[in-house]
Amino acid sequence: MSADYPLAGHRVVITGASSGIGAATAVAFAAAGARVVLGARGREGLDDVASRCAAAGGIAIVRSVDCTDAAAVAAFAAEARDLLSGIDLWFSCEGVGVLGRYEDVPIADHARVVDVNLVAHMNDVHAVLPIFLAQDRGIWVNMISAGGFVATPYAAAYSASKFGLRGFSAALRGEVSKRPHIHICDVCPTLSTRPASTTPATIRAHGSRCRRVRSHPRR
């Protein structure tokens, strides 16, 4: 966010924006003068982030959306495009994790991790890429993780989803390689200082089999 790339007036959409890195990024964009539309499942968290954007001198429009629902994401993207008169940048920041021995964690929990961490990001791009193509410009930012490079024992589904995201980005770059003003960007942080927030999913402690399904600010 340097003077070399002023953000005032840029049209930005952030999904997974109700906490962690997504929320912090929303506040930073708003403070820099970008026009921001935020999406996530939790309206309470979104309203809190919108208040923080206002306190930073910006404005954020918030909408509740479950990004694992492709039709809902398509509708959200269309509304964001209409609200902003286009979209310059879309930041996909959805993420959850489950910890435990692979065989001890219910397969539904593993599936949920892949659905949120990988499929939701794919839904985002499927909705916004046609907008970018029509504009002949746009930036998609894909929140991955250092976990997309180094597999983590006891987080097999998380590792699978993050490695999958890297492959997805690489494939997309090839598809838009002849569109010089459309960019596919990856962000791969390690750990953030903000604690993860726990979902209502089961938390079970049994020696090394402790597991939890949670949102992941570290992504």
Q: Torsions phi, psi of 56, nearest 5? A: -85, 0
Q: Torsions phi, psi of 12, nearest 5? A: -125, 135
Alpha-carbon span 42 to 31, nearest angstrom: 22
* CB contact at 8 A, 25 and 1: no
Q: Torsions phi, psi of 17, nearest 5? A: -95, 5
Active site residue 158: yes
Alpha-carbon span 217 to 187, nearest angstrom: 13
* CB contact at 8 A, 48 and 24: no
Residue with tokens 């910890």: 99
* CB contact at 8 A, 66 and 16: no
Rounded to the nearest angstrom, the gap between the alpha carbon of residue 154 and the centroid of all alpha carbons in its chain is: 23
Q: Which entry of 5, 102, 154, 158 is annotated as an active-site residue?
A: 158
Query: What does the block give as tokens for 191?
Result: 């750990």
8-state DSSP, 115: I
Amino acid, res. 33: G
Q: What is the set of active-site residues?
A: 158
